[in-house]
Structure 1
Amino acid sequence: MTATLTVRPAGQPFLAYWSALTAGALGDAIVSMAVPFLALAAGGGVAGVGAVVLAGSLPRFLGPVYGLVADRASARVLLALCAVVRALGVGLIGFAALHLRVPLIALRLLALLNGALATLAYTTGAALLPRLVSEEELPRANSLLSAALMGTPLVGYGVGGALVHALGSGPTLLLAVPLLLSLAVAAPLLPARAPGAAGGGQAGRAWPDLVTGLRLCLEQPLLRTLMLLGALTNLALNLVNVRAPLTMTALDDGASDYAVFEMLISGGALGGIALVPVLSRRLGTDALIRLGSLVTVLGVALLAAGGVEVWWSGGLLLGLGLGVLEVAAMTRLQRAVPEKLRGRVLGAFLTSNAAGLTLGAALGRLDVPSAWLMPAVAAVLLCAGLVWVQVARSGADTSATGV
Structure 2
Amino acid sequence: MAQVGTGTTRHGGKADRQADSGPAAAGRAKLGPAFANLFTANIASSLGDGIARTAIPLLAVQVTLDPLLISGISALAMLPWLFFAIPAGILIDRIDRRAALALANGVRTILAVALFVITSTGNLTIWWLYIIIFIYGMFETVYDGAIRAVAPSILAKAQLPRANSLIEAGEQVIQNFVSGPITSLLFAVSVLIPLGANAAVYALAVILAILLPKIASGRQFAAAHAARHGESAVWYKQFVDGYRFIVSNKQLKTLWFLSTFSGMCTSIATASLVLYLVDRLQLPEALFGVYMLTGAAGGIGASMIASRMKARWGTGLSVAIGNLVASIGIVAVGAFPNLWAVGIAWVFISAGITVWNILIMSLRQSIIPGRLLGRVHGTWRTLLWGSMPVGSIIGGLIGRIDLVLPFIIGGGLSALAGIIWFQFLMTLPNPEDVDNGDDAAIAGAADAGAAEAGVTGAGPTDPVVEK
Same fold (TM over 0.5): yes
Q: 270, 276, 290: which is aligned to 2:306?
A: 276
**What corresponds to 1:288 in structure 2?**
318
- 1:399 paired to 2:440: no
**What corresponds to 1:224 in structure 2?**
253
**What corresponds to 1:193 in structure 2?**
218
Aligned CA distance change for structure 1 residues 133 and 387 (closer, same or farther; 3 Å): farther
Instruction: Tell me the SS of whatever aligns to 1:82.
Output: helix
Deviation at 1:389, TM superposition (A): 3.5
In the alignment, the residues of structure 1 paired with residue 131 and residue 393 of structure 2 have an alpha-carbon distance, to the nearest angstrom, of 25
User: In the TM superposition, what are the counterparts of 1:68-79 in structure 2 within 5 Å?
Assistant: 68-79=90-101
In the alignment, the residues of structure 1 paired with residue 62 and residue 285 of structure 2 have an alpha-carbon distance, to the nearest angstrom, of 24
- 1:320 paired to 2:345: no
**What corresponds to 2:113 in structure 1?**
91
Instruction: Tell me the SS of whatever aligns to 1:138.
Output: helix
Instruction: Tell me the SS of whatever aligns to 2:239.
Output: helix
User: In the TM superposition, what are the counterparts of 1:124-273 in structure 2 within 5 Å?
Assistant: 124-154=146-176, 155-168=178-191, 170-187=192-209, 188-190=211-213, 191=215, 192-197=217-222, 201-203=232-234, 206-207=236-237, 209-248=238-277, 249-255=279-285, 258-259=288-289, 261-273=291-303
**What corresponds to 1:33 in structure 2?**
54
In the alignment, the residues of structure 2 paired with residue 256 and residue 38 of structure 1 have an alpha-carbon distance, to the nearest angstrom, of 18
Aligned CA distance change for structure 1 residues 178 and 260 (closer, same or farther; 3 Å): closer
Instruction: Tell me the SS of whatever aligns to 2:271.
Output: helix
Q: 13, 30, 35: which is aligned to 1:6?
A: 30
Confirm or deny: 8 A CA contact 1:21 1:182 kept in the other structure.
Answer: no
**What corresponds to 1:375 in structure 2?**
408
In the alignment, the residues of structure 1 paired with residue 346 and residue 45 of structure 2 have an alpha-carbon distance, to the nearest angstrom, of 27
Q: Deviations over 1:316-349 (max 9, x none)?
A: 2211111111101101111111111121111122
**Counterpart code for 2:109:** A
Confirm or deny: 8 A CA contact 1:298 1:317 kept in the other structure.
Answer: no
TM-score by length of 2: 0.78
Moved more, 258-267 or 111-120: 258-267
Aligned CA distance change for structure 1 residues 135 and 346 (closer, same or farther; 3 Å): same
**Counterpart code for 2:271:** V
Moved more, 234-243 or 71-80: 234-243
Confirm or deny: 8 A CA contact 2:173 2:300 kept in the other structure.
Answer: yes
Moved more, 389-398 or 240-249: 389-398
Confirm or deny: 8 A CA contact 2:88 2:378 kept in the other structure.
Answer: yes
Q: Deviations over 1:232-287 (max 9, x none)?
A: 34324433432222222213334367445422222112211111121111111122
The number of equivalent residue pairs is: 393
Work out which of the two has the higher radius of gyration on C-alpha atoms and give 1 or 2.
2
In angstroms, what is the RMSD of aligned CA positions? 2.5
Confirm or deny: 8 A CA contact 2:323 2:418 kept in the other structure.
Answer: yes
Please list every run of 5 or more consecutive structure 2 residues that lacks an aligned counterpart in the other structure.
Answer: 1-26, 439-467
Deviation at 1:370, TM superposition (A): 4.6
In the alignment, the residues of structure 1 paired with residue 297 and residue 379 of structure 2 have an alpha-carbon distance, to the nearest angstrom, of 28
**What corresponds to 1:121 in structure 2?**
143
Instruction: Tell me the SS of whatever aligns to 1:41.
Output: helix
Confirm or deny: 8 A CA contact 1:67 1:345 kept in the other structure.
Answer: yes
Instruction: Tell me the SS of whatever aligns to 2:128.
Output: helix
Instruction: Tell me the SS of whatever aligns to 2:105.
Output: helix
In the alignment, the residues of structure 2 paired with residue 272 and residue 174 of structure 1 have an alpha-carbon distance, to the nearest angstrom, of 33
Aligned CA distance change for structure 1 residues 381 and 195 (closer, same or farther; 3 Å): same
Confirm or deny: 8 A CA contact 2:90 2:239 kept in the other structure.
Answer: yes
Please list every run of 5 or more consecutive structure 1 residues that lacks an aligned counterpart in the other structure.
Answer: none
User: In the TM superposition, what are the counterparts of 1:339-358 in structure 2 within 5 Å?
Assistant: 339-358=370-389
**Counterpart code for 1:94:** F
Q: 19, 32, 47: which is aligned to 2:68?
A: 47
Instruction: Tell me the SS of whatever aligns to 2:334.
Output: coil
- 1:385 paired to 2:404: no
**Counterpart code for 2:151:** L
**Counterpart code for 1:116:** M
Aligned CA distance change for structure 1 residues 162 and 391 (closer, same or farther; 3 Å): same
Instruction: Tell me the SS of whatever aligns to 1:210.
Output: coil
Deviation at 1:44, TM superposition (A): 5.8
Deviation at 1:130, TM superposition (A): 1.0
**What corresponds to 2:132 in structure 1?**
110
Confirm or deny: 8 A CA contact 2:96 2:219 kept in the other structure.
Answer: no
Aligned CA distance change for structure 1 residues 110 and 334 (closer, same or farther; 3 Å): same
Q: Deviations over 1:72-117 (max 9, x none)?
A: 1110111111111110111012022111221322211110111111
Deviation at 1:386, TM superposition (A): 3.9
In the alignment, the residues of structure 2 paired with residue 387 and residue 40 of structure 1 have an alpha-carbon distance, to the nearest angstrom, of 45
Q: Deviations over 1:199-253 (max 9, x none)?
A: 78443x524x111212322332221232233323432443343222222221333
Deviation at 1:398, TM superposition (A): 8.6
Instruction: Tell me the SS of whatever aligns to 1:284.
Output: helix
- 1:361 paired to 2:392: yes
**What corresponds to 2:327 in structure 1?**
297
Deviation at 1:394, TM superposition (A): 5.6
Q: Deviations over 1:140-199 (max 9, x none)?
A: 10011111222211110111111111112x342122111012221112323233434267
Confirm or deny: 8 A CA contact 1:233 1:356 kept in the other structure.
Answer: no
